[in-house]
Structure 1
Amino acid sequence: MKRSLNKDAMTPEKGEEDMTSALTVSICLPTCNRPELIVECLDSCLAQTYPHIEILVGDDSRDDVTQQLIATRYAHDARIRYVRHDPPLGQARNVASLFERAAGTLVMLIHDDDYLAPEGVARLAALWQIYPHLEVAFGDQHEVDASGHVDAQRSAALNAAFHRTRRAQGMQMLPGRTGLVQMFPNNGWMALATLVRCVGYREDAGACCDFVFGVELCLAASQVYYLHEYVSYYRKTPVSISQSTRVSPFAAAFTAYSFVLRLTLDASLETARGKALRRLAPIVVSLHAKHDAPLAALRVALDHPDAYAYGLNLRLYYHLALIARALLAVCVRQRPRAPRFP
């Protein structure tokens, strides 16, 4: 359900209405046990061409390797404000704590295994000079493999898959749709700090907290701008998966589906909800079937026939086969065994 937000709390303070290049951007960087990756991320933040930045690091690591690395390598750079959490806060509370510590008018989020393009901050911050009442801005993401190689073709496909195309550039007519259809990226975005703090990161969303935050941020905003330029690098490797997701790798899809299904939305956003569910429903069907919940899988499939082009998509028949196999396995397990006699 969409949470009620106090619009007065999001009104810029005195002096913030004149959006100029002097606005400070707080780059929020949550990290956990990735000292081998955070250096590239931090160096990309420090290399920004936009001068008015602070870099907030929230460290959930179980050891002090990252702490020692930052103390040694970045000791003399006052732009970095580092805090280690003991005990760890978890992803959502870590990010929320960074938002609370942010002193800048604008906030940007970048995860520790990703990094920023040198002009990333400048490109997004410049939009506030053109649109003084802008609340949220985001751009494209490069896709990077484990070895650090950027694949231009895969990067273009990644953005196109999430509706980030040249045709879509500009102020979004339905900001809520931007979050629902996952056009809004998981990081590399920029937003007013007051709005970000009002929305917050939900701990109950678990591994899905990035998606839930993006949807709620876009629903709360009235001016969201998409810039068709690369501003960040998204690293696609096994270490991109959070620790909680490793334990239950499908929790995010289930949470996202349930969250979208239960949202209270204006009628203008029902089409966007349908598009979001068409993306999520087949994933949920497959996961239910593979985890011995065939009846739950069948219910979701029947609830969303449009996700399978009303029977014209071969994916439906593959999923029905998975459901049948799972149902048979359940029946075999539940069949009473014949008594053994000596």
Structure 2
Amino acid sequence: MGNPLVSVVIPAYNRPDTLKIAIDSVLEQTYPNIEIIICDDSTDDRVQEMLDPYLDPNPKIKYHRNERNLFLENWHKCYDLASGEYINYLMDDDVFHKEKIAKMLYFFNDFDNITLVTSYRQTINETGDFLPPLRATSRLYEETRILEGKLLGNLALTRCLNVIGEPTTVLFRKKDLTEPFGFYKGKQYSLINDFAAWLSLLCKGKAVYISEALSYFRLHPNQNNNKMGFAAFSQWLEIIIASREDGFLDNKELFKTALLSYRERVNHYDQFAEDIKRIDKLLITLD
């Protein structure tokens, strides 16, 4: 079947030091046919200056500096510029295991109807030392599994946790993502854009969960997730409800579990009072 082109797409922003580590982890991949698309949304020249020595000797790296900040559109720009049959986002502060792409592509090549391959991701700190897992990053299974996409989606929806992984974690076939990355059912999700994309893929086929750590998720004080804070959770209720159109949460008990999970997480926060009222009305219709 040859070695199809894999596009590793990196939306970069003001992190030249960790970006260098991220790029090196792609260049060290055992899989041979990879291009790297970097779209730079930085507010200064540090990323470009760091990259200059890389570009001439590495024609597989394609660098684009934005004339203005594109924010979420930068994610779409990376995707649109990618030529590969397969796509793997890489956050500019994360790292790939050297066999990530090879081990994930195996499942696309040898099994039918796979639309998403993910894995356990090891959390690391600013200096790359291993950290204990977070609730969302805990290992789902002790062995590698192929499972129905909707089953994996339901596992995340009923917990209100992105147990599937951050953008770095997942490899997918470009043609299978029929909406722009971060869209689900025609709506752009800004704070859980990765999970929105995963649902779009999971409703179309099977998923693979690899129990081995094939990526490294860096936790640090300047992380975007930290800046978004609890506001990121506000989009979960919308996606829980929308997901039923694609057959997720397809019985009352699953839907009720997801609603109650969300309610429990936001119950003590005044800013979610309207969400709680909405959930209570939905729960009445389910009883």
Shorter-chain TM-score: what band? 0.7 to 0.9
- Tell me how far 1:75 sits from its aligned partner: 3.1
Question: Which residue pairs with 1:66 in the alignment?
Answer: 47
TM-score of the two chains, using structure 1 as the length reference: 0.71
- One-letter amino acid matched to 1:215: L
- Tell me how far 1:267 sits from its aligned partner: 7.0
Quick check: 1:179–1:216 contact (8 Å CA) kept in 2? Answer: no
Instruction: Give SS of 1:104's match.
Output: coil
CA distance in 2, matches of 1:138, 1:184: 7
Quick check: 1:159–1:165 contact (8 Å CA) kept in 2? Answer: no
TM-score of the two chains, using structure 2 as the length reference: 0.83
Quick check: 2:113–2:205 contact (8 Å CA) kept in 1? Answer: no
Quick check: 1:257–1:281 contact (8 Å CA) kept in 2? Answer: no
CA distance in 2, matches of 1:225, 1:262: 24
Note the alpha carbon deviations across 1:136-172, whole angstroms, 9 max, x for none.
2111100112232113xx2396543xx7213572232
Question: Which residue pairs with 2:199 in the alignment?
Answer: 215
Question: Which residue pairs with 1:326 in the alignment?
Answer: none
| Match 2:85 to one of 99, 102, 105 | 105
Q: Does 1:164 align with 2:164?
A: no
Instruction: Give SS of 2:43's match.
Output: coil
Of stretches 116-125 and 176-185 in structure 1, the one that deviates more from structure 2 is 176-185
Q: Does 1:206 align with 2:213?
A: no
Q: Larger Cα Rg: Structure 1 or Structure 2?
A: 1
Q: Does 1:186 align with 2:166?
A: yes
Q: Does 1:138 align with 2:118?
A: yes
Higher relative contact order (CA 8 A, sep 6+): 2
CA distance in 2, matches of 1:250, 1:158: 15
Q: 1:261 to 1:36 in 2, by over 3 A?
A: same
CA distance in 2, matches of 1:267, 1:135: 16
CA distance in 2, matches of 1:217, 1:267: 12
Question: Which residue pairs with 1:57 in the alignment?
Answer: 38
| Match 1:231 to one of 203, 214, 225 | 214
Q: Does 1:116 align with 2:108?
A: no
Q: List alignment gaps of at least 5 residues for structure 2.
A: none
- Name the one with the larger helix percent: 1
Quick check: 2:154–2:248 contact (8 Å CA) kept in 1? Answer: no
Quick check: 1:24–1:105 contact (8 Å CA) kept in 2? Answer: yes
- Alignment coverage as a number of residue pairs: 273
Quick check: 1:100–1:197 contact (8 Å CA) kept in 2? Answer: no
- One-letter amino acid matched to 1:224: A
- One-letter amino acid matched to 1:141: R
CA distance in 2, matches of 1:73, 1:87: 23
Q: 1:157 to 1:31 in 2, by over 3 A?
A: same
- Tell me how far 1:66 sits from its aligned partner: 0.6
* Pairs within 5 Å for 1:223-262: 223-241=206-224, 246=227, 249-262=229-242
- Percent identity between matched residues is 19
* Pairs within 5 Å for 1:266-281: 266=247, 269-270=250-251, 271-281=253-263
- Tell me how far 1:57 sits from its aligned partner: 0.8
